[in-house]
Amino acid sequence: MRRPTAVDLFAGAGGLSLGLEQAGFDVVACVERDPVHAAVHHFNFPKTKTLTASVTDVSGADLLDELGLDTVDLVAGGAPCQGFSLIGQRALEDPRNALVAEFVRLVVELDASYFVFENVKGLTVGKHRKFLRELYAEFEKHGYEIRSPWHVLNASHYGVPQSRERLFLIGGKRGLCVPSYPDPTHWPVEAPNQLQLHPAPPTCEDALGDIPDADSFDELRRIDEVEVSFLRPTSSYAAYLRGIERDPGDFSYPRDFDPRRLTASARTNHSGVTRTRFAATECGSVEPISRFFKLAPDGISNTLRAGTDSSRGAFTSPRPIHYRFDRCVTVREMARLHSYPDWFRFHRTKWHGAREVGNSVPPNLARAIGSALIDAMGLEPYVPSEVLRLGDPSLLGLTVQQASDYWGIENPISGRTLKGSYSKRTQAQVEAESVPCSTAE
């Protein structure tokens, strides 16, 4: 018995890392350029080697040498998707598409047996298919076979209470057993004929019904965590994420954490007018002024988005409205809708924390893909006996400058021009607005 090794590129806070670990992988290294997200990943995955760098600066040979390995079983990741250029004869040679080419390079240099590439479903539409065809050809040139056709998977089909579609490519070295895409385990109620075979995904109430209202705790105006008395779990989904029951399909390392603490729950100071509008909005519809979606207790969430980073205006992600309370959901509630367990921590600010959830692959979806790979490898997953202690809590509150100093790198947003209506703001102002007591909405 062994746990296969994986490297997570463009790792963010670690949704893909967690799903692969739950499937039975050991994520031995991750690469994340943003020092704030890298610090959060390091907190949650203390055994993983964290490289705070651009993938363009990472050498596969050097990483293998540092890890003491000759090869890895899997390289996974999704290059940032600000938009891919199709100008010129070869899309992969366009510098604006360089991160995808770097993904291919590292798969080859790490001599990975398998890879998983994740990205926006827009790459499968119209002229962007040219980009995918080139990506297939590039991998095939290096001796990899890709499962065809590519698949766009919806997280709600894999036990996530959220409609979220993403493109996945799965490939392996020629001659290995390349897995098929995982069959759906859940079907939305819009497909009643399928419900005879699979249950509907968890609902918003299944995910959130046991979490007390963050607005009931004054402490959450200043900090993001407080000791609470949770309500009785409304579903096995909530019980798994709370850690009350062990999910039989979860083969991750157990974490040592305090289940009495409600974390990632900094309050938002909505005005009375805003709260009145939110209360008057019907569940399952869009509030007409903010354009925020109001969750329905018996439905699933819309796609949770990340907003923008500091270099592109630092816009807050549009968190949906809670179905019961006249406020937007907290970061912890977003995490529940994304299938993160409660031990998993995020940056203490709503801005960074919401970005970390919205940018990530839902762990349950990543687990389904990882499980298909484990099956193709002919391995039997198991729960390790080692219980991991989470990292230093100070990692969860670092500003960009503090996180850069922690990792010993140059501040990645220093000197950049911030675009849009934020173009005249200084970096110091941006960071000041993302301290834990920030309640801007």
Q: What positions carry a catalytic annotation?
A: 81
Please check whether residue 30 is in contact with residue 51, taking contact to mean a CB–CB distance below 8 angstroms.
yes
Q: Sign of the C-alpha dihedral, residues 139, 22, 368, 119?
A: negative
Neighbour-count burial of 65, counting CB atoms closer than 10 A to its CB (0-12 exposed, 13-18 middle, 19+ buried): exposed
List, in sequence order, every residue forming a beta bridge with 49; answer none if it has no partner: 29
Q: Strands, E, within 41-161: which ranges?
A: 49-51, 74-77, 114-119, 144-146, 151-154
Amino acid (one-letter) located at 303: T
Contact residues for 186 (Cβ-Cβ < 8 A; gap 6+):
156, 157, 158, 159, 198, 199, 200, 201
Q: Which residues pair with 77 in a beta bridge?
A: 9, 117
Token digits of residue 282: 């019907």
Q: How far is CA 276 from CA 238, 273, 281, in A?
A: 29, 5, 9
Extract the tokens encoding 239: 């019980």
Question: Are the CB atoms for 266 and 331 separated by under 8 Å?
Answer: yes
The reply to whether omega before 149 is within 30° of 0 (cis) is: yes
Q: CB of 315 within 8 A of CB of 325? A: no
Return the H-helix or E-strand segment holding 431. Answer: helix 427-432
Helical ranges in 24-127 per DSSP H = 35-44, 60-67, 98-109
Q: How far is 179 from 116, CA to CA, in rounded Å?
A: 11
Q: 208 with 337: CB under 8 angstroms?
A: yes
Residues 3, 22: Cα–Cα separation, whole Å: 11
